[in-house]
Structure formats: C-alpha cells, structure tokens
Amino acid sequence: MKNESQQAEFLKQLSPQAFLAFGMGHVAYIRPVVVQNRTAYSLHAADGTALTMVDSLAGACVLARQNDLDPVALQ
C-alpha cells in the first residue's frame, strides 16, 4: 500500500469475515476491563476471541510479544 487513502480503501472493501480474520496470528488486542472494582486487561485474538486476563497493561503486552503477536490497545 502506498498511502493512507489506499489502505483505507482496501479496508473498506473487506468482507465482515475477512475483516475479522485480518491480523489473525499477528495482532492481539488489549482491552481494559473492571473486575471487582479494579482494572484488569483482557487479551484478545484478532477475531475477538478472549485469550487471557492479566493485572497490568505491561503484562498483557509481554504476553502478546511472547506469543509473537503485536499488541494493540483498545479504549
């Protein structure tokens, strides 16, 4: 892809199934969640499958990297 507009156009043309599979085996999403009034971090595969939950964002990033995944934080 040469520029952002080409990347955006490519992503717009993906089917819902292809979009879910986009990044599988390469990306792990990290989402903060509240458990018993404390913030924990849920680690998910690119398709949304929950993988694990840990106490810290740093710990979630380490787990992703140890499994050859690039961590991406969600808000």
Return the residue matching tokens 């694990």.
52
Q: How many domains does the chain have?
A: 1
| Domain of 45, in residue numbers | 22-73
pLDDT in tens, the chain (75 residues): 467 777 777 767 877 776 666 656 678 899 999 999 999 999 998 888 899 999 999 999 999 999 888 898 876
48 lies in a domain?
yes
pTM > 0.85: no
**Residue 23 Cα to chain centre, angstroms:** 8
Q: What is the DSSP string of 2-56?
A: -SHHHHHHHHHTS-HHHHHHTTTTTEEEEEEEEETTEEEEEEEETTS-EEEEES-
12 lies in a domain?
no
